[in-house]
Structure 1
């Protein structure tokens, strides 16, 4: 299986600027004025320009205010403090304190388009520290 990550955004240029600055991704292919492929993660990330209020599903229109979704992406980093500083400088919003668990450290963020992200720094054996 190949995984592709698609992220709807209201403004493609500002989204590309955010994701390249926040996470160190680089632009790959462009799809006219409505999409760009970002490379540098284990899966390609596709930013797709979709206007605010356009139909996302039959039940709801797109809203780029901060929203909850049952799916989010985690970005695994070597240095959480440095990665957090970089993401905040790019325009991410920190949601809560950095927390430490026996598997590592985590902080919740929101991007400028309302999508939730987590930065993770594994410690010790990472998730193997809590495997049962």
Structure 2
């Protein structure tokens, strides 16, 4: 048996809004989805699919697993996230290898934008 990673599932109150944000940010098209859910990508894609699952309660606390999104320019990337309805958490880390900023999608799921030098 071969184990392989096929997706990441994100709980959302407003599945359509959060999926549209990630679709635009990652330029990842919507694939076949169950009613009420949204999948970005299709089975068998090279990259794992992002799955947006409807839940009745809003996010509470910091997420324990998050996505890292590489960008060529941290300022431009931050502007794109904010323009799509996301936000900057105020957290930034500068390292010899590059810079990491913690952003959030429209429902507050944290993720990192990373610019490598």
Bin for the TM-score computed over the shorter chain: 0.7 to 0.9
Q: Residues of 2 paired with 1:83 and 1:26: CA distance?
A: 19
Any runs of at least 4 consecutive aligned residues in structure 1 with deviations exceeding 6 A, and if so which?
A: none
Equivalent position of 2:63 in the other structure: 69
Q: Relative contact order, CA 8 A, sep 6+: which one is greater?
A: 2
* RMSD of equivalent CA atoms: 2.1
Specify every segment of 5 or more residues in structure 2 that has no aligned partner in the other structure, as ranges.
none
Alignment of 1:93-132 (within 5 A): 93-96=87-90, 98-123=92-117
Specify every segment of 5 or more residues in structure 1 that has no aligned partner in the other structure, as ranges.
53-62, 124-132
Equivalent position of 1:12 in the other structure: 15
Q: Residues of 2 paired with 1:89 and 1:25: CA distance?
A: 17
Task: Give the TM-score normalised by structure 2.
Answer: 0.81
Equivalent position of 2:47 in the other structure: 42
CA gap 1:22/1:41 in 2 versus in 1, 3 angstroms? farther
Task: Give the TM-score normalised by structure 1.
Answer: 0.73
Please, which moves more after superposition, 38-47 or 80-89?
Answer: 38-47
Q: Structure 1, residues 72-92: CA drift from partner, whole Å, max 9, x if none?
A: 111122222222111110111
Judge conservation of contact 1:21–1:87 (CA < 8 Å) in 2. no
Q: Residues of 2 paired with 1:83 and 1:42: CA distance?
A: 21
Q: How many aligned positions are there?
A: 111
Which structure: larger Rg? Answer: 1
- Aligned-partner SS, 2:30: strand
Q: Structure 1, residues 20-45: CA drift from partner, whole Å, max 9, x if none?
A: 2333222111211x211113983210
